[in-house]
Amino acid sequence: MRDLFRTGSDFAIGLILSAILFPGAPISLILLGVIGGVLPDVLQLAYTKIRREPLIALQKFHGWIHSQEKIRNVIGGISFQIIVVLIIKITISSAY
């Protein structure tokens, strides 16, 4: 239940922030981006309940792509994500 709440919250927050950051973007495009962003979480949740292919292969890939080190600098991680979003925002804004 906690994972479902967390994934739902990620979806809602992503949708709201994307609509605020990209006000002129079509809602369908924003929705596709948000769905793409939470899809790995949904698949992770499905894997915990249904341990069959292709979810097993996706879980192996998920484990492989994640860092083995625990990130201890939360502020640095959040700052990096904000910088990436700002770069995307500036790039998209200059394209119009």
Distance CA 85, CA 14 (A): 12
**Confidence grade of residue 8 (pLDDT, cut at 50, 70, 90):** confident
Average pLDDT for residues 40-55, to the nearest whole number?
89
Name residues whose C-beta falls within 8 Å of residue 20's C-beta, 6 or more positions apart in sequence: none
For residue 47, pLDDT over 80 is answered with yes
Average pLDDT for residues 2-18, to the nearest whole number?
87
